[in-house]
Amino acid sequence: MAGEPAASMTPRMASGLRIPVHLGVIMDGNGRWAKARGKRRTEGHVQGVGALRGMVELCITYGVSYLTVFSFSSENWSRPPDEISFIFNLLRRFVASDLQRLIRNNVKVRIIGTREGLDHSLVRLIDDVEAKTAGNTGLTLVVAFNYGGRAELAAAARQLAHEVAAGRLDPDAIDEAAIARSLFTEGMPDPDLIIRTSGEQRLSNFLLWQAAYSEFVFVDEHWPDFNEASFLRVLEAFSLRDRRFGGIGATGS
């Protein structure tokens, strides 16, 4: 992170805004940001890490409890090998440069997704950052890395099937709560709000189960350009939503 949590927001500026407990972000547009500036795609990923640092600071400042970011999907393996290697090295650099600041800021880090396909050094790094921040009680930063929502649901189904086969679980006891306990996000609330940048309007296999009643805000900015002003506009839009969860809202509709 570029510095300590931003102190520019005053209570007056934040008043009247509904703050999501759990915010999900599909960080899209790094490559398009770079192309628009005549730069290599990798430079877009570097700038995207800077935007992530800014988002972490904003979530700390505004009191968001959980931030889940989609950093590398299971479908991203189709990208050129040199770009994949660069993204993996960015994760290493992010952890190396930011771990102590995350610890000072009481941030707990969870990295969700499959470990398959990752080299042993990267798996050790993931385990290390999770262990070193496990006792923190502030913002929980969840990094969806080598993650796919369908793969997560398939893994949950396999886990429940093994429990049934072992006689530890009655098939009739498999309900929504049992499935939720088997997901990578076990113990976390579902996201209240999901943001996607760069003008795209789809989930792209992100938190498919958890997003059942999430609010969505799609913004035109590419991820490297997402800043505090963007964040405020999203919070304003979210604050106007009438969240009914299948029931009748405040307006009676």
Active site residues: 28, 76
Q: What is the 3-state secondary structure (H, E, C) of 28-96?
A: CCHHHHHHHCCCCHHHHHHHHHHHHHHHHHHHHHHCCCEEEEEEEEHHHHHCCHHHHHHHHHHHHHHHH
Alpha helices in the chain (DSSP H): 11-14, 30-36, 41-62, 81-104, 120-133, 149-165, 176-181, 228-239
Strand partners, 26: 70, 196
- Could you tell me if 92 and 72 are in contact, meaning their C-beta atoms sit under 8 angstroms apart? no
**Contact call for residues 118 and 92 (beta carbons, < 8 A):** no
**CA distance linking residue 68 with residue 238, whole number of Å:** 17
CA distance 36 to 55: 23
The residue type of 100 is Q
Could you tell me which of 140, 68, 137 has the C-alpha nearest to residue 109?
Answer: 140
Nearest to 31 by CA among 224, 204, 217: 224
Determine the Cα–Cα distance for residues 108 and 103; give it in Å rounded to an integer: 8
For residue 152, with 0-12 CB atoms within 10 Å meaning exposed, 13-18 middle and 19 or more buried, which class applies? buried
